[in-house]
């Protein structure tokens, strides 16, 4: 079962290197993945693994040091100036902190219209109509709240406004970086449902970056797991969670706390903390914490191998895949 459809976003060997105090820190160290049209790819990992940097590099908010980012057939990584600006309108980003990502002293309707104003696309009544529609779509009453300032809103409402702003340019790809992690569970559920509705309505393709494994599974068709700047496993959400192939994914899922007193307690917890990206281990980057590591893991970097349809893992000793339920199609709609 291989995908014949063309990916909307094709990322190959993306690297981002920061320079700090004379050291080179490779935050993203060669990441490759595809996102197909209409699909949601979840990107999970612990802090410092490079998931947010990957998202920002796709937007060219941080500069990739090498690699290609092909969006709709155009390599965004090499563009500059006006062409880059034009290409960027096809992708938009929603950030973690809803309150600080909006200017507290601007009116909501102007915040939402800002992308339109930047491009001088529409004026007057047309502009007002678009803003009215966008705000209604995200559940903010434009008549009552349109003239209020961003500072007058709660976190959940600010995130709704951010979503409206991100949709103003009718983007194809939406990059959501920890967009619900600052919200309470009841508000988080509202925003996640809203995102699913808008995705269907606007035909969006999503890269959903988050640390919360339950949230990521709920919204994603496929999930990629990152560790120390590299993707260690990528596959369909249901099968990856049910039967992880990389030891790190297994530990990560074992550490996730389920809101259920009868959920099995995993006695095995991952010891220690990730090594510094300034000085990553040779070979497999997880080997220093992996109970299965051998000399081979230190000598050779494991390359991605397909262990099940659309399920790739970078490990010399992957876990056996056990499919308890029939594999759902990797991509739908």
Partner 1 sequence: MSDEKLLVVTDLKTTFDTANGPLPAVGGVSFDLERNETLGIVGESGSGKTVLSRTIMGLQPRTKVSVTGSSVIDGFEVVGASENDKRKIWGTEVAMIFQDPMTSLNPVMRIGKQIDEALRVRLGMDKAAAKARAIELLELVGIPSPQERYNAYPGMLSGGMRQRVVIAIALACSPKLLMADEPTTGLDVTIQAQILNLLDELKDRLKMSVILVTHDLGVVATRTSRIIVMYAGRIVETGNTRDVFYHHRMPYTKALLESSPKVSNHSHTRLVTIPGRPPNLLSLPDGCAFAPRCSYATDQCHLVRPELEPSTEPGHTFACWNPLPINVEGALA
Among 105, 265, 303, 326, binds partner 1 (CB under 8 A): 265
Closest approach, Cβ 273 to partner 1, in A, equals: 6
Does 278 participate in binding partner 1 (rule CB under 8 A)? no
The region of 82-90, 121-129, 168-176, 269-277 touching partner 1 under the rule CB under 8 A is 269-277
What is the Cα–Cα distance from 295 to 283, expressed in whole angstroms?
A: 9
Q: Would you state the structure tokens that stand for residue 292, as one six-digit string? A: 């299965």
Two tokens, residue 328: 């759902």
**What DSSP string runs through 260-312?**
-TTSPP-S----S-PPPTTSPPSSSTTGGG-TT--HHHHHSPPPPEEEETTEE
CB of 98 to partner 1, least distance (A): 13
Q: Which of residues 224-253 bind partner 1 (CB under 8 A)?
A: 237-238, 241, 251-253
Q: Which residues pair with 44 in a beta bridge?
A: 225
72 near partner 1, judged by CB under 8 A:
no
Per-residue DSSP letter, 62 = S
- x-marked contacts with partner 1 along 121-160 as a string, rule CB under 8 A: ---------------------------------x-x----
Q: Does 261 bind partner 1 (CB under 8 A)?
A: yes
Asked if 46 and 274 count as a contact pair (C-beta separation under 8 A), the reply is yes
Residue with tokens 């569970």: 185
| In 124-199, beta strands by DSSP E | 173-177
In the bound state with partner 1, the residue whose beta carbon lies nearer, of 89 and 218, is 218
Beta carbon of residue 112, minimum distance to partner 1 (angstroms, whole number): 21
- Which two three-digit tokens encode residue 212? 């919360």
| Among 190, 250, 275, 317, contact with partner 1 (rule: CB under 8 A) | 190
Report the residue number, 47 or 120, with the smaller CB distance to partner 1.
Answer: 47
Question: Cβ 87 to partner 1, closest distance in Å?
Answer: 30
**CA torsion 243→249→252→257, rounded to 10°?**
-20
Element (H, E) at 16: strand 7-20
Nearer of residues 235 and 318 to partner 1, judged by Cβ: 235
Compare residues 144 and 259 and give the one whose CB is closer to partner 1.
259
| Distance, CA of 314 to CA of 141 (rounded, Å) | 48
Give the nearer residue to partner 1 in terms of CB position, either 133 or 197. 197
Cα–Cα distances (Å) from 248 to 193, 221, 242, 255, 319, in that order, read 29, 20, 14, 11, 10
Closer of 76 and 195 to partner 1 (Cβ): 195
**Residue 258 binding partner 1, by CB under 8 A:** yes
Name the residues that contact partner 1, by CB under 8 A.
46-47, 154, 156, 184-190, 192-193, 196, 211-215, 217-221, 237-238, 241, 251-261, 263, 265-266, 269-271, 273
């Amino acid at each position: 079962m291989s995908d014949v459809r063309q990916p909307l976003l094709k990322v190959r060997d993306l690297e981002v290197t920061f320079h700090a105090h004379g050291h080179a820190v490779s935050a993203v160290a060669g990441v490759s993945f595809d996102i197909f049209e209409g699909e949601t790819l979840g990107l999970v990992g612990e802090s410092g693994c490079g998931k947010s940097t990957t998202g920002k590099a796709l937007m060219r908010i941080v500069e990739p040091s090498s690699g290609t980012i092909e969006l709709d057939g155009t390599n965004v990584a090499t563009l500059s100036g006006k062409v880059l600006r034009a290409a960027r309108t096809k992708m938009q980003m929603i950030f973690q902190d809803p309150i600080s990502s909006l200017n507290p002293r601007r009116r909501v309707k102007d915040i939402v219209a800002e992308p339109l104003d930047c491009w001088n696309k529409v004026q007057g009544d047309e502009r007002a109509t678009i803003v009215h529609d966008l705000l209604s779509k995200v559940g903010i009453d434009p008549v009552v709240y349109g003239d209020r300032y961003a500072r007058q809103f709660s976190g959940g409402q600010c995130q709704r406004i951010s979503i409206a702003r991100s949709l103003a340019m009718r983007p194809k790809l939406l990059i959501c970086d920890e967009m619900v992690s600052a919200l309470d569970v009841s508000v988080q559920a509202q925003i996640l449902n809203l995102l699913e509705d808008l995705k269907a309505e606007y035909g969006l393709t999503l890269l959903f970056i988050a640390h919360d494994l339950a949230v990521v599974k709920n919204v994603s068709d496929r999930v990629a797991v990152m560790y120390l700047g590299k993707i260690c496993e990528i596959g369909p959400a249901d099968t990856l969670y049910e039967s992880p192939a990389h030891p790190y994914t297994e530990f990560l899922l074992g550490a996730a706390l389920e809101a259920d007193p009868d959920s099995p307690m995993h006695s095995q917890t991952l010891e220690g903390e990730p090594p510094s990206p300034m000085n990553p281990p040779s070979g497999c980057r997880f080997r220093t914490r992996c109970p299965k590591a051998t000399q081979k893991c230190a000598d050779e970097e494991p390359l991605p191998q397909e262990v099940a349809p659309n399920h790739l893992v970078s490990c010399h000793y992957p876990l056996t895949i056990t499919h308890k339920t029939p594999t759902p199609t990797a991509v739908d709609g």
